[in-house]
Structure 1
Amino acid sequence: MKKPIAWIIDTTGFVTEEFKAHPDVYVVPLNIHFGTEEFIDDGVDLTNEDLYKRIKASTTFPKTSQPSAGKFAELYDQLKEEYECAIAVHASAKLSGTIASSTAGAEMSEFKVYTIDSLALSYGLSGLIERGLKLQEQGHSAEEIAQKLAKETGNFRNYILIGNLTQLYKGGRMSGAQYYLGSLLQIKPIVQLTPEGELQPIDKVRSHKKAIQYLINHAKKDHAEFGVKRFQIMHGNVLKEAENLKQEVLKEIPEADILIGDLSSSLAVHAGEGTIAFLWRKENF
């Protein structure tokens, strides 16, 4: 008898230790390019530490590319022998072509895959997978789960302090005017993934201390209004800063449950070393 659901996440998401150990969760890595060199974002072919060293030493700006439809088709050909269907949660289609490759791969394989545009990055994908696994445990069908997850994408909240404006600009995620003004005035832009899945600057502050307080104030608001207690802090090679933010949040929200994790290499290429992302979902599940 086939198992009911295989779960797919790409490496723009935060791959938790639970996901790595889960027999039904499959991770599809993106590719990272330094000129003619290509690496797989699997934490083995290129570790985050290696990535940051290469970025500092390289004269070539790194780029990312989504897995091909063929790669997804290979995976889905394997999975359809063992599973009835799959639910694939991918990065926002406004920022990555991964969901298009996944959909095309499923069609090539003739395997039933419910693809979910998370409208997010990092833990925005992971949280949906966690939610889906809980719904599966409760006995919901794959179709029901996919419908519920698609509706819950709008609950994602995120505030991002970009660590390296140059990388964001060269990667095409920031206009020349925004980059020039930010560099000239030493402004720290606060960026957000909108409910439509687009990356946009939403505010700017003149000091790191004020930027951190800005994040905490928004967390306090949603904690008071919606009872949010679970938060995630993703960082670009600045663990100490992430831990400091956690302690500051706990001073304001003592009952908060806060997870700290690394930005994947696929995201660090664009956001840069020093980036701090503060994430949560409006509904606390």
Structure 2
Amino acid sequence: MKKIAWVVDSSAYVNTLLKNHPDVYVIPLNIHFGQQQFIDGVDLTSEQLYEKLRVETESIKTSQPSAGEFAELYKKLSLDYESIIAIHVSNSLSGTISASMNGAQIAQVHMECVDSLSLSAGITGLVEKGLILEKQGLVFDEIVATLRLEATKFRNYILIGNLTRLYKSGRLSSVQFYLGNLLKIKPIIQINNKGQLQELDKVRSQKKAIQYLINKVVESAEQDGVNLVYIMHANALEQAESLKEAIQLQAPNVELSIGEISTSLAVHAGEDTIAVLWYLP
């Protein structure tokens, strides 16, 4: 039997490495448009989602997989693996970890959940780190403990592209929404080291907001020695590529990886959202 199966939810940025790795498995979240339910990344593409977000008037929300769905996956994995490490979206933002742990109890498997204290590329970075540790020969408990410490080193700056989605998802008050639109404010938000979403700053123009992101990356590259940064976007590839070029000019030694956020995250963040995310060395 193989030693470890790696499980992530679909809020993760499933890059080429994760997508093609034989030991990495993705369990999808659900997206609800009124009475309609879609499976994240399975029967709703990002293009279809953004089309719906532009015209949809019904309530839109997301939900985690059920404990039964996790149990079904874990029972299958237990036939081929000794243990399972599940890395999920922050427990402060979703009930996915609880469902995952309940599913493991139902399936009676050897599994540990790691709270990423993040989402998207934050999960990606932990899985990539875990695969390296496994290859180096660390045992299961050592890998889990190391990843839980690594999760506290996550840094991120998120420029919200559409205040309407953040407002409708309940993460922005009506006053904040009104003033933000009136004054053309660009809010910068962050997932803190407790895995909670918090407003970090307000910038008065898109140009200044992008420069804010550039400055944060360059500052961390110079002061902390950061050498890998993820640039994540919501249907804003051109803007992400422009941001990458600008960062490269000031921090040429930093590797920059561009990716698109999952449809389940775009429901809350909205189209044109762009973010920079990394782990401290």
Give your verdict on TM over 0.5.
yes
Q: Using the TM superposition, give the Cα deviation of residue 182 of structure 1 relative to its aligned residue in structure 2, in angstroms.
A: 1.1
Q: Kindly provide the amino acid, as one letter, of the partner of residue 137 in structure 1.
A: K
2:29 and 2:84 mapped to 1: Cα distance? 19
Could you say which residue in structure 1 is the equivalent of 2:19?
Answer: 20
- Helix, strand or coil for the counterpart of 1:107? helix
Q: Using the TM superposition, give the Cα deviation of residue 176 of structure 1 relative to its aligned residue in structure 2, in angstroms.
A: 2.5
Aligned partner of 1:51 among 49, 52, 59 = 49
Q: Using the TM superposition, give the Cα deviation of residue 24 of structure 1 relative to its aligned residue in structure 2, in angstroms.
A: 0.5
Alignment partner of 1:29 is 2:7: no
Q: Kindly provide the amino acid, as one letter, of the partner of residue 257 in structure 2.
A: L
Q: Kindly provide the amino acid, as one letter, of the partner of residue 49 in structure 1.
A: E
Q: Kindly provide the amino acid, as one letter, of the partner of residue 56 in structure 2.
A: S
Q: Kindly provide the amino acid, as one letter, of the partner of residue 180 in structure 2.
A: G
Deviates more, 1:170-179 or 1:22-31: 170-179
Alignment partner of 1:114 is 2:119: no
Write the deviation string for residues 15-52 of structure 1: whole angstroms up to 9, x where unpaired: 1121111110000100001111111012x311000000
- Helix, strand or coil for the counterpart of 1:248? helix
Alignment partner of 1:196 is 2:221: no
Q: Using the TM superposition, give the Cα deviation of residue 224 of structure 1 relative to its aligned residue in structure 2, in angstroms.
A: 1.1
Q: Kindly provide the amino acid, as one letter, of the partner of residue 13 in structure 1.
A: A
Q: Kindly provide the amino acid, as one letter, of the partner of residue 7 in structure 1.
A: W
1:277 and 1:113 mapped to 2: Cα distance? 31
Identity of aligned residues (%): 53
Write the deviation string for residues 122-158 of structure 1: whole angstroms up to 9, x where unpaired: 0000000000000000000111100000011111110
1:126-137 to 2 correspondence within 5 Å?
126-137=124-135
- Helix, strand or coil for the counterpart of 1:159? strand
Return the TM-score normalized by structure 1.
0.97
Gap runs ≥5 in structure 1: none
Q: Kindly provide the amino acid, as one letter, of the partner of residue 229 in structure 1.
A: N
Write the deviation string for residues 156-186 of structure 1: whole angstroms up to 9, x where unpaired: 1100000111110110122223222212211
Contact 1:8/1:25, CA 8 A, preserved across alignment: yes
Q: Kindly provide the amino acid, as one letter, of the partner of residue 5 in structure 1.
A: I
2:76 and 2:137 mapped to 1: Cα distance? 25
Aligned partner of 1:103 among 101, 104, 113 = 101
Return the TM-score normalized by structure 2.
0.98
Q: Using the TM superposition, give the Cα deviation of residue 282 of structure 1 relative to its aligned residue in structure 2, in angstroms.
A: 1.0
Contact 1:160/1:191, CA 8 A, preserved across alignment: yes
Q: Kindly provide the amino acid, as one letter, of the partner of residue 40 in structure 2.
A: D
1:207-222 to 2 correspondence within 5 Å?
207-222=205-220
Write the deviation string for residues 104-127 of structure 1: whole angstroms up to 9, x where unpaired: 000111101110000001000000
- Helix, strand or coil for the counterpart of 2:152? helix
Contact 1:55/1:61, CA 8 A, preserved across alignment: no
2:55 and 2:172 mapped to 1: Cα distance? 23
Q: Kindly provide the amino acid, as one letter, of the partner of residue 50 in structure 2.
A: Y
Q: Kindly provide the amino acid, as one letter, of the partner of residue 162 in structure 2.
A: N
Aligned partner of 1:244 among 238, 242, 245 = 242
Contact 1:189/1:201, CA 8 A, preserved across alignment: yes
1:61 and 1:212 mapped to 2: Cα distance? 30
Alignment partner of 1:3 is 2:37: no
- Helix, strand or coil for the counterpart of 1:168? helix
1:79 and 1:155 mapped to 2: Cα distance? 30
